[in-house]
A and B are shown apart, each in its own frame.
Chain A
Amino acid sequence: DAGVIQSPRHEVTEMGQEVTLRCKLISGHNSLFWYRQTMMRGLELLIYFNNNVPIDDSGMPEDRFSAKMPNASFSTLKIQPSEPRDSAVYFCASSNLGYTEAFFGQGTRLTVV
């Protein structure tokens, strides 16, 4: 397995534009986590899913952010409209529910200008 795959690796967009980040889970995994990392705030959990169902989205900063799992192996994180303060590295991670190890993707570095 190629591991958790995130795309794109880098994204530069203008303020106000819609941004979609993508994540492909490891085959067979049924838990999915989205994180955001900045120097100021560290690694923050945005939302996590178990079996395609959002369990806790309390970390989603505001209504401009939305996340979905259209199927068991894929997830999107959408920001609409984007703002400069959304600039960060976004990570997704997958695991098997009840298992111990979460596997992280390489991240998407988002820059909003």
Chain B
Amino acid sequence: DAKTTQPPSMDCAEGRAANLPCNHSTISGNEYVYWYRQIHSQGPQYIIHGLKNNETNEMASLIITEDRKSSTLILPHATLRDTAVYYCIVRVNTDKLIFGTGTRLQVFP
């Protein structure tokens, strides 16, 4: 019952910005947008989250549209180590964390 839609795969050149889109048209007012990633054979790793304002941390930036129906995760300077599956999740903070199929990002030299 994932509430998000993501492209199955994307490519990005090393050093360039990777822009990963996510649609969440049924998001509720109290649901946050979360991003996690999973590098091959490791456990998922939290990246960033936001409610309605754009957010930035040391890993990435999150841009949420004004109507909150979609968002974009931006990795400003992708490296080969950013190759992973990226999951966009919407949830209330105290609720369960449900993963969809995610976007497989391949960063190439």
Contact = CB atoms under 8 A, between A and B. Distances in A.
Interface of A: 4, 33, 35, 42-43, 45, 48, 50, 55-56, 89, 91, 93, 97-107
A99 B32 CA distance: 12
Nearest to B91: A100
Interface of B: 32, 34, 38, 41-46, 49, 87, 93-94, 96-102
Given A43-B99, A45-B98, A100-B49, A105 B43 contact: yes
B49 to A, nearest CB: 5
Contacts of A45: 96-99
Minimum-distance CB pairs A-B, first 9: A104-B43, A43-B99, A101-B46, A91-B43, A104-B44, A48-B96, A98-B94, A100-B49, A98-B93
A55 B95 CA distance: 10
B43 A100 contact: no
Q: Which of B43, B46, B87, B102 has its CB near the most chain A CB atoms (within 10 A)?
A: B43
A33 B91 CA distance: 15
A62 B31 CA distance: 30
Given A100-B34, A100-B49, A56 B96 contact: yes
A111 B91 CA distance: 32
A107 B46 contact: no
A100 B32 contact: yes
Contacts of A98: 93-94
Contacts of B97: 33, 45, 48, 93, 102
Given A91-B43, A104-B43, A105-B43, A97 B94 contact: yes
A104 to B, nearest CB: 3
